[in-house]
Chain A
Amino acid sequence: MKHLWSICLLFFVMGKAQSQVANVLQTKQLLWLAGWKFHVGDSLHWSQPAYQYQHWEHLQLNKRLILNKHTGTFWLKTNVQLTGQSLESLVFHYYLFNAACEIYWDGAYIDRNGTIGTDVQSEKTGNYTGMFPIPTTLLTPGTHEISIRVSNYHFPNRSLFGRPNIGTTLRMQQKNNQWVLEHTLITTVLGLTILFCVLLFFGLAKNLSLLCFIGFCVVQMLELLLKFYGVYQNINIGLYNTLLDILQLIKILDGFFLVGYLVLEFQINPLKYWLSGALLISVFNHWWAFDHFSILWLMAGIIVTMAIVQKKYLAFVILIGLIGWGFFAYGYPVWGYFWGLVILMASMIVVSILQIYRRAQQQHQIELRTSRLENQLLKKNIQPHFLMNSLISLQQIIHEDPFKAEDMINELASEFQVFSRVAEKKLIAMKDELKLCRAHLRIMEYRKGASFVLETINITGEERIPPAIFHTLVENGITHGYGLKNQGRFVLEKSLHKKQIVYRLYNDGEISPNQKATQKQLIGSGTGIKYIQARLNESYGKKWQMNYGEVDEGWETKIVLPSK
């Protein structure tokens, strides 16, 4: 703000008198030098304090003007008035000087950056930044002339310099510390955010919006890293410019990423148009070199406004972030953009995490509901047919043997009693499961005129298992294995292996040769197996295994459960 103020002052003063003072350095102040005049040509005489240069052309601050108009050797001049304690030690500092230069203080040569030449060959460009102490002997109260001799054959089309400034050594050091601190802080924040989002992406939710967020942060980070490289390594301005060009190209993407993030996060349709629109605008923006930030902010603002209008969850949080960003970027020239960015990113993280949390919750709800529903539906699908088939057998048995019919009704009742007791539970005791299986086998004995036994090995009856899984396997075993046979033996065996409990259910069923080929496929796709899978999923997540297949003279199903 201060230098702006100086510039205003300058404009005001300029028209009036000849030997105007362009800059006044107050105590402890860091002064952005303004009021520059320039003149094409070269004469060391021009550095002399007595030389009248007020008729020189005023240096337009609009960089484009100076870039295209002036190639060659020319001089820049301004002056500064020193007062009080600032006389102890002064440092002249500048950065991003796209030319070779020599600096003179009241006509005395102080230092140079690069070597001034008369063409591209003889000119040697300097480094990204430079800092020249002004000899204390030259520091006296009053007005001093600063002259810079410049040749810009290498980079005629670039802005001439960053902002030359002057201040006491102490103040300059403070400024540098501040710069380093802010730079480090922001880089850290950005870096951690990127890391956090990457972890979030791979660990929790592979959302495209998160990728866009990461992309946006990375582009911003690159800009910081380039500044870091430029300052700390003090690289040649030529190299810096090359890197800057690449960065500008990459920066086309940040509009795309930001818009992408917002559009994806808030599900603003049609997605494709928004994304391609954002990319197009960014490219044009790069081409015409409009203010990058304003366009970016405007695009984001439009989408967030739409999101708010469409009543999207948490859209207002991003709006707060955007306003914060805009406020800082315009209010605090040097690091405001990045501090504002930190606010925006914080709002983006909040939104992303809350969205992920909400989606996870919804997903969980859906899963719970489906698995419940599935269990119920599957059982409903199985039971009536079992009942109908049993009833038709009863119709016959009533005539043949009323006592047997009575017995069968008892078994039916006991099977259904246990069923209704355990169906709603997630885990039941093995003894109840065995009751179910035995009642089922008895009923099937009546129906098929066969005899079945169920033997157990190592089973205590207290084991906890999901309801009706072995019952379902027994049911399957009878359906598929005893078409031709009317004697059956089932064996349920438990064994412990490290951290796992292994149940094996064997039966000596025969598979008719016609069915053999399709048998395994048939069983695997059946409702019964789906029911078992749903139940195991419900209780053990992914920590279970089930295999089934033919073994010697029979069929075996192996279920492996975690022991805890």
Chain B
Amino acid sequence: MKIIVVEDEATVARRIVSLTQAVLGTKLTSIVTKQTFYEAKSYIFEHSVDVLLLDLNLNGEDGFELLKLAVSGAFHTIVISAYEERALEAFEYGVVDFLSKPFTRKRLRQAFERIVNTDKASHYLTKYLSVRVKGGLKIVPIEQVMYIKGAGVYVELFLKDGTVELYDKTLERLMVILPAHFVRIHKSYIANFEYVKMLHAENYNKITCEFLSGASVPVSRIRYKEIKDAYDKN
């Protein structure tokens, strides 16, 4: 796992690095520390990163602007902040976890487990996806998303109003932060079950999922049973 830490206080940065090393052990392939998010950005531009550990002063608008920018990236974001009371808001923007200072080794391990172990991850809190568009960021409310199609390192968000947005995360990473009614129905698709009209199983080879808008996407044969159960429950 490749990690980048953004923390302007040297002592705290050392603390985060040493704890991360202890928690991840051999799973950690690289860890770098940057003092500001802007420095981190240029690093991220040239290197691939799995997780951003972001120390954020969330007191005031600027902190959240930075957060929105961070979560629009391809990597997972874990926020570390002394502003515990802003945690819920941070989750709404799709951070994987929120560590309030000071934190323990155990708490940091839980945060990493959320990333590795997708089953445990769904915490239902994400409300917005921060999408990078030309000239800035666009905040897409998650209930606008009908289904999501994987396209390599990107995904395409198919919205209720018919528009499509590109989002800089893989389907796997996105699944970690999506609420439970978003279900992986195919290796390339995630469906928002609130907008599913019905599942069609015409024959064993062709199963499709039809949305209220009339759009239709394929469903994985292998996962069909599991998906059907989830659909019936929903």
Contact = CB atoms under 8 A, between A and B. Distances in A.
B82 A389 contact: yes
B48 interface: no
Nearest to A384: B82
B15 interface: yes
Given A385-B82, A388-B82, A526-B60, A393 B9 contact: yes
A396 B18 contact: yes
Interface in B1-45: 8-12, 14-15, 18, 35-36, 38
A388 B100 contact: yes
A527 interface: yes
Contact of A448 (B11, B59, B60, B102): B11
A483 B100 CA distance: 21
Most chain A beta carbons < 10 A, residue from B15, B18, B60:
B15
B38 A396 contact: no
Contact of A392 (B10, B57, B62, B103): B103
B62 A393 contact: no
Interface string A387-428: 011011111110110000000000000000000000000000
Nearest to A525: B60
B101 interface: yes
A395 B15 contact: yes
Nearest to B18: A396
A316 interface: no
Contact of A395 (B9, B60, B102): B102
Contacts of B154: none
Given A388-B102, A514-B36, A448 B10 contact: yes
Contacts of B12: 389, 392-393, 396, 447
B82 A448 contact: no
A396 B36 contact: no
Given A385-B83, A388-B102, A392-B103, A514 B38 contact: yes
A384 to B, nearest CB: 7
Dominant secondary structure at the A interface: helix
A393 B15 contact: yes
A396 B82 contact: no
Interface string B63-99: 0000000000000000000110000000000000000
A392 B59 contact: no
Most chain B beta carbons < 10 A, residue from A393, A394, A446:
A393
Contact of A486 (B10, B15, B36): B10
A392 B101 contact: yes
A5 B233 CA distance: 102
Interface string A514-548: 11001000100111000000000000000000000
Nearest to B17: A396
Contact of B10 (A388, A449, A512, A522): A449
B9 to A, nearest CB: 5
Contacts of A384: 82
B54 to A, nearest CB: 14
Nearest to A392: B102
A483 B35 contact: yes
B112 to A, nearest CB: 18
A381 B11 contact: no
A21 interface: no
Contact of B36 (A512, A522, A526): A512
Most chain B beta carbons < 10 A, residue from A384, A388, A394:
A388
A422 to B, nearest CB: 23
Contacts of B35: 483-484
A388 B60 CA distance: 18
A522 B63 CA distance: 11
A278 B75 CA distance: 71
B99 to A, nearest CB: 10
Nearest to A394: B102
Contact of B8 (A381, A392, A483): A483
Contact of B15 (A392, A483, A526): A392
A450 interface: yes
A447 B9 contact: yes
A449 B14 CA distance: 10
A142 B82 CA distance: 111
Given A393-B9, A396-B18, A446-B11, A381 B102 contact: no
Given A388-B101, A512-B38, A450 B59 contact: no
A447 B102 CA distance: 13
A518 B36 contact: no
Given A396-B12, A446-B11, A483-B36, 4 more contacts: A393-B15, A396-B11, A449-B10, A525-B60
29 contacts: A384-B82, A385-B82, A388-B102, A389-B9, A392-B12, A392-B15, A392-B101, A392-B102, A393-B11, A394-B102, A396-B11, A396-B15, A396-B18, A397-B11, A399-B18, A447-B10, A447-B11, A448-B8, A448-B10, A449-B9, A449-B10, A479-B57, A486-B10, A512-B38, A514-B36, A514-B38, A515-B38, A518-B62, A522-B62
Interface of A: 381, 384-385, 388-389, 391-397, 399-400, 446-450, 479, 483-484, 486, 512, 514-515, 518, 522, 525-527
